[in-house]
Structure 1
């Protein structure tokens, strides 16, 4: 699916990725080849608060869904949530006195976990509502991401309050039902009715849960961690802006048939060396962003234009069509021609 007409997915923490890897490992699934295909690497001891590209994170989840053929993968990954899954936000919530105090930190600091979506909190009489809007757009990934976030919330709240019986009154999911036979897995885990194809994703619970005491309150530690979180938020905001600007500059160049790092750097008022250093600090590189934008544009050209495949290869800066074919098949598992046949309603002569 083409991402060129949707907002960039920003970044995600290594910790968010590790939750999926732990869940897969529990099932005996080797995620190393999937991580490689997604352009990710967990082999060199990255810290949990390091960032990965959101598009690559989404691609890894897509590959994991395809490899497992599991309609409730996201639900099951919620079983593997840990305080570290939420980076410093997890440790802030651990040090809060009540569940309500912990919840108030989700909205201002959820970006530390990743740019996967946005949370809202509402009080309505004797009930509270936690509502989550998913930013991920791949139709295979989105329902699993929604399940993961909601399942992780509920599991983590139970852990924080040291009460495995803590349950919502209801959960609403915008995703379609995975099938009647699998719906019971949601009710058994969450202990409440679950509504599928709802208007949004929300957890509805008794307002009294806000006063539920947590196991390890530590106001002094919480204040220290919050200062650290504010510092990380400022850095992430600047980093995401840089990656977004570089992606857009590369995209505009490729649409004109060129792809030069020195031109992109000049547009951002820095040298190519400075640009590469700044991207490296964010765990990225010019080449990785170029590859990402090339793939996105290739899918878009194949789906929505009649442009011949050799012309697409030339437009994207490949020296010969064979190189484009090899790269595209490595990324998607199919040739450009097969991809066009499957995804496009606009036939072309290749």
Structure 2
């Protein structure tokens, strides 16, 4: 499979199903573009996208999206139009593992465990806080020129799964979705029944935590076991060095309150700690470096979206002293936490 030109450190050298990329090409052709226009710079051909068992790289899918926006412009609702074309089949084996789960909690846990197999570029994380459960959908790592399009697309695709999970009039109607998008009719059409609040600092789906115990209408223990086994095998096939880095990052970002140990992550990936160490070393990083990266990302999130003091954030991140947190943050971001918070607030006002 040809690869797009990129540096070895590219964060998008992760293998994916071609299904989502094929939808983008189909959308482009319906708007008057040729397949060649859509695939320019990817090294792909239409035949590469027709094989459901094939794999492409995330960078190639992003290039297709960029070609689409360059040719068509940032049309309102274009991302939602792409997302609404996603079906259960687009999610592949992971989708069947999700809907065959016994409860919503088990389904979400499966989806998070194998998020690297999903079509979404968002980084999901589940948290519970008393009566409420929240699924955080991080988009801050996405390329600036594609963020709105991909956020629209992936949220609309998630919206298509809600009726499959709950039925047309199920508990999804009790959910509230905060998004970093501006108001518009397209997302509401893709997520009927979900209350949407726009221009929020983060993307988060909030619903009563009791719904996590809701039995899913398509629950099937045998299919759930078989599908998850297939997900596990597929994840192994996709896990080259860069894929291993992505899988470790995903697990560290989803479990910020009690980050997993290297042994726990290795067990989830069904490999030994030594194998995990070797793969990360081959990719030019380490478990400690990735854990520190995840902790710093959470620091940015807490600084820009909460009123916690720098000292409170330091303690939440596990630092014994505020000064140690400030030093680590400044080394990574070039400015101390308080300055970073002030600059971020000023940027938000200027938008």
When the two chains are superposed, the root-mean-square deviation of aligned CA atoms in Å is: 3.2
Q: How many residues align?
A: 238
On the 8 A contact 1:12/1:116 being kept in 2, the answer is: no
Question: Computing the radius of gyration over CA atoms, which structure comes out larger, 1 or 2?
Answer: 1
Cα 1:109/1:243, change in 2 over 3 Å: closer
Which residue of structure 2 aligns with residue 67 of structure 1? 71
Cα 1:5/1:139, change in 2 over 3 Å: farther
- Residue pairs, 1:1-350, within 5 angstroms: 7-9=10-12, 10-24=14-28, 30-43=34-47, 46-69=50-73, 70-113=75-118, 116-134=121-139, 137-163=142-168, 166-167=172-173, 169-175=175-181, 177=182, 183-190=184-191, 191-238=193-240, 240=242
- Normalising to structure 1: TM-score of the pair? 0.58
Cα 1:113/1:157, change in 2 over 3 Å: same
On the 8 A contact 1:19/1:85 being kept in 2, the answer is: no
On the 8 A contact 1:161/1:213 being kept in 2, the answer is: no
CA separation in 2, counterparts of 1:206 and 1:187? 20
Task: Tell me: higher relative CO, structure 1 or 2? Use CA pairs within 8 A at least 6 residues apart.
Answer: 1
On the 8 A contact 1:117/1:134 being kept in 2, the answer is: yes
Cα 1:154/1:171, change in 2 over 3 Å: same
Which residue of structure 2 aligns with residue 317 of structure 1? none
State the shift of 1:78 in Å: 2.2
State the shift of 1:127 in Å: 2.2
1:216 aligned counterpart, secondary structure: coil
- Normalising to structure 2: TM-score of the pair? 0.58
Structure 2's unaligned 5+ residue stretches are 247-351
Cα 1:77/1:157, change in 2 over 3 Å: same
On the 8 A contact 1:150/1:203 being kept in 2, the answer is: no
Which residue of structure 2 aligns with residue 277 of structure 1? none
Cα 1:149/1:33, change in 2 over 3 Å: same
2:60 aligned counterpart, secondary structure: helix
